[in-house]
Structure 1
């Protein structure tokens, strides 16, 4: 197949014009569909889980309609001839071809990161077996996608901890607020879809602060203080929360966690696990480090600043009432222990 070079360059320019991973994935599939028109293109994420590979669908293109699965990346659990072929492609680190019942070919391409590890798999259903030139072009596009993901992550990650940085937090909260808006949910589900409304995903944001951090710095020095920050970050991402929950370094000794939970009690249990994991960890020299957490549901707040402000108010209460605690803003508000954030004027209590 002779490809128009200008068209390919234009598509490469489009792929690298986005700074959002989910939009980047959709742009990749759009480019592939234009160059290799097909009925079905799917992009899977590959993760290591307990010694085996785990697949989840990130985005797909069917009859030129492209859909992102970012809201709920679907885990591929059912064994099938196709899933077995995908795992063969991963294990052999090579292209895999199988025919389907309709006489078409499923072509599976593993995507490699900068370290040579397979982080994604591309599946293209096509009438014709791709030529060597076609395969090289597809691999080239996957390399552009992989390399650009690395560049995006470098701008989004905190250098000390490797967590997402503060600059990316506002965008994430804004996306959640849009998804949780009533008009958005009405458009995404039918009027009779009571099951979707009952089991709608809820998002919770927690602001986490290391207790007495100034004392740690004063007694052990800033280098040791950085080590404490790194250790706390590792503890929070070591399995206490799920892979699709997000952890940010908000600044200094503060972190933010955005997680999914069906209700406040479940969110409270998750934040309590985080608090307990840190409190029971044996830190070198200092032995114990504790954290305080304030959290709130991300629902109908006017802006990301309001979400952060409400969680921060619950954190302020935890810091002022003994530390090493988790508090819900809505619960404190209903109990009359805090005021609406817009009415709050903090006193002179030293929190940090």
Structure 2
């Protein structure tokens, strides 16, 4: 690991995003916002087919979060959730135990086999029929979902481009709150407050040390009510008389989608960036800065982005083989060590994972 250069937040939006994730994991909720005794799970770059959020903070019931660990660190996708949430306490033929999925049952059988392999349900075959039984009740662990859009340089043009996305977030109300995080400018009135940002969205200003403060509080959205999915809207102008196109999202769809988002956040977290970068490069470092650990390229002498840190980078050099042979059995070089460190930090934020059943 290398010492930081003290200018992390002056870099790319990717680095700013990592700083916001680390602050949220360390400090959420912001000062002046009460969430009782909620635990928090932070992730980045998750969302739906049509919308991906930069940072997501899932506020959780502490006991429920610990019980969720019984089902492992990996996320449960929608097919697995269908099986796990409806698995009975006693051995039951799976078609009698599970509600009609709305798609062929053969896909349910595949999900049952995957769930049994991961030991999140029990399955057996009796009289040539698959029976299932729960290993534990699936807990009600999710309280609220908070979406944060990261824009370190929120000028007028960036605000105009971001506003339609935020308006769609507010109309759909899939998240309980929507925030925009931007760099602190030191002005008496932050520019973000007078730009074209919906009033329902909160604004966080992040200082050079990676600490955020509330400049505008968000409105709590009605996640239990039907949402409005904006499909198309007129571009505006004096001669634009076209109508907007929209459809409603029913509360049941929203409940299921929110749980899927929470599961993705639980399984992926925000430290998985190392999986799309090249920590096995001899120039890859982690800098220990005030906001936290950040990737750093010794060849470029900057905090690189995931797009820059790839095998096609002209500065890429694989770790020397001797770096990977220090222990027996061979445990890999510094790159593997970085991945193990990030994974152990992620596990540390998931209480109950290393406890016995």
**TM-score normalised by the chain length of structure 1:** 0.23
**TM-score normalised by the chain length of structure 2:** 0.23
Which one has the bigger helix percentage? 1
Greater relative contact order (Cα < 8 A, sep 6+) = 2
